[in-house]
Amino acid sequence: MFLMGAVKKPHSFFTYLSLSYLAVYAVCALLLYLITAHVISESARAFDRDDIRSDSLEYAEILRGNASGSWLAEEVALEHLPASTIFAIRLLGTDGNVVYSASQPTNFAFPGGWNSRKAPASNLVPKDNWREIYLPEYKRHLQLRSTRLPDGRVLQVAKSTARENTQEGILLRTSLAFFLLACLFTLGNGLWMMAITLRPIKRVTADMSRIIETGTCEAGDFPVSSRISELNTLGRYFDLMVQKNATLIKAMKDTLDNVAHDFRTPLARIRSAAEFALNAREPPLSHDALLGMLAGIIEDCDNAKLQLQNLMDIRAMESGFLNLDRQRFDLVKTVAEIADLYAVLAEDKNIALNIDVPEGQLSVDGDPLRLSQALANLIDNAVKYTPRDGNIQITLERAHGEALLTIGDTGIGIPEEDHALIGQRLFRSRNARSEKGLGLGMSIVKAIVDAHGGSLTFTSAPGSGSRFFVRLPSC
């Protein structure tokens, strides 16, 4: 009970598809944002360093021409920088004290102070030293360059433009807009994928629900189709499976009456004979009459048993559980013996039964009893469905390393729409239902031939007879 309660409620395919796309887009957008932000930061800081390097060279040249620094102060005063730019310059004496300093903004918040701080001694400051300092108050990265002059003094120039923050702000807004558009695209793509993916699945589900509820195994009004090839193949095979099952069920229903009739007749005869024997008191039945009735009952029981055994044999052969007594035997002899057995039945209908077999032996590896049963069923059908004064031709030959057995007749033939159903259990063609039978003969033949690694094919047309071809591996 606990496990059943812990099962999570399933969600639609659209939910999982949309969430997966959103997760992929979110991760990709985040990675793209981080990479681009890093590139922008490095580019902006490199630009600031280029400006500082240029300014440092210019200011150092001024100090070489005017050691007092008055010209430097005038040059700095002439600088017109944007209000968003942080700029600072100072000149350190050889003792480390600040000789001159200027900054924008004036109250420049530099760690430790910029204008009044005692800087490290100049001999501790390397030439062309670069430092990057983060200013929490401005949320900026300041680039600082220290340049030792020929007289031992040190010139320090620091700068930080708003370029990095401005570009990162633009990047953030662009990334958010891109993510929102990606969400809309994901939603639209999810709806589109749901439409082309779930429609055939819902159609299959609806057909299955209808089959379960109504018990009628029939395909829907419209075939299952999809733009996705795998789903389209699935839908096509589903429709084909439903159609085949519907055809098989219909054939089974159609043959139930025949099955009931074929079993009802021997049962009725058995009951009638038994009742007659019980009621025949005056005069009592003779010993011979009773024996005749018992013999008839036994015959009817054997016929019913044979029909049931055929059904069980077909199931065993189709399932692969039937053991074959394989041995090498002469198929020429077997064909001749079976043909002789049906010669009398053919003669009663004035049917010419012709046989053409090769001289000598044609050996095959198989079960002689089962192959004789298959051959007998084929010849029995030919005799049963061939009208009087017809013709049956049995031919056995060796072809391409195989034994080819051909049984042709001038019988009623098989309609083309029934060709695909020949060999299915309990199926009987509509023009063959005038004769007794359960529709098991061809199923038995096909199962036996398949079990021997052979093949069964035929050609037939109504009014033109049929030709059945049995191919078996020869020794």
In order of their start, the domains of the chain are: 13-168 (3.30.450), 229-319 (1.10.287.130), 327-473 (3.30.565.10)
DSSP string, 53-89: HHHHHHHHHHHHH-TTSHHHHHHHHH----TT-EEEE
Residue-wise pLDDT tens digits, 101-119: 888 888 878 887 787 655 5
Report the distance separating Cα 401 and Cα 443, nearest Å: 26
Residue-wise pLDDT tens digits, 116-173: 655 554 444 555 688 888 888 888 888 899 888 888 888 889 988 888 888 888 888 8
Report the distance separating Cα 94 and Cα 98, nearest Å: 10
Report the distance separating Cα 370 and Cα 324, nearest Å: 8
Report the distance separating Cα 182 and Cα 2, nearest Å: 41
Supply the pLDDT for residue 122. 45
Cα 328 from chain centroid (whole Å): 45
Report the distance separating Cα 172 and Cα 179, nearest Å: 10
Supply the pLDDT for residue 218. 63
Residue 217 contacts residue 249 (beta carbons within 8 Å): yes
Residue 96 structure tokens: 């480390």
SS3 at position 103: strand
Would you say residue 364 has pLDDT above 80?
Answer: yes
Residue-wise pLDDT tens digits, 33-71: 888 888 888 888 888 888 888 888 888 888 887 777 677
Count helices and strands in the chain by DSSP H and E runs: 9, 12
Supply the pLDDT for residue 284. 66
Q: Please, what is the Cα angle at 242 between 237 and 244, to 5 degrees?
A: 90
Would you say residue 258 has pLDDT above 60?
Answer: no
Q: What is the pTM of this model?
A: 0.43
Report the distance separating Cα 180 and Cα 190, nearest Å: 15
